[in-house]
Amino acid sequence: MSDQDAPVTPEPAQEAAPETFDRDYVAKLRAESAKYRTEAKANAKAAEKLAAIEEASKSELDKAAERATAAEARAANAEAQLVRKDIAASKGLKPEAAEFLTGSTPEEIEASAEKLLALMPEPQRPPGRPVEQLQSGAVPAANQSGSTPDDWIRHAVAARQSR
């Protein structure tokens, strides 16, 4: 075999001599390490509690913000409806027509009301007061001849006498 094919075995490294410490120093280090471990555990529990409290308060804050946003939207919607109905009434439109008015400002809503009025036909009103043609059953109408019992009897008597 050649020198290149021979397995190479690493030479054992020289081991460093381990340092030795006296017992008092080691005990002191172990006590200090134990103290830090218990503090870290306590801090981790406190951090978890703090994170949970922050999350709970954050979600309550978010809920309150959402409720406030929803209330503001409802108030704005109610105010817009009131403005539309007021403008519709001032222009002579029916309250039902207010839903067809568009715009975000009173000027835009008034312009929309004027356009709607222009599209609507003028209402047809009858001229004057209508004449009532109701009569009681005791009074004969002018165009009805021979329709009362007196007329029937007169007619029957006249027919008998002529025979």
pLDDT in tens, 30-77: 999 999 999 999 999 999 999 888 877 777 788 888 899 999 999 999
pLDDT at position 6 is 58
Report in angstroms the alpha-carbon separations of 88 from 19, 78, 108, 121. Answer: 97, 15, 13, 16
Q: How far apart are the first and last CA of the chain?
A: 172
Answer yes or no: is pLDDT of 160 > 80: yes
In this prediction, residues 96-108 reach a mean pLDDT of 88
Mean pLDDT for the chain overall: 81
Structure pTM? Answer: 0.41
> Can you read off the two tokens belonging to residue 150?
């007196």
Greatest alpha-carbon pair distance for the chain in Å reads 172
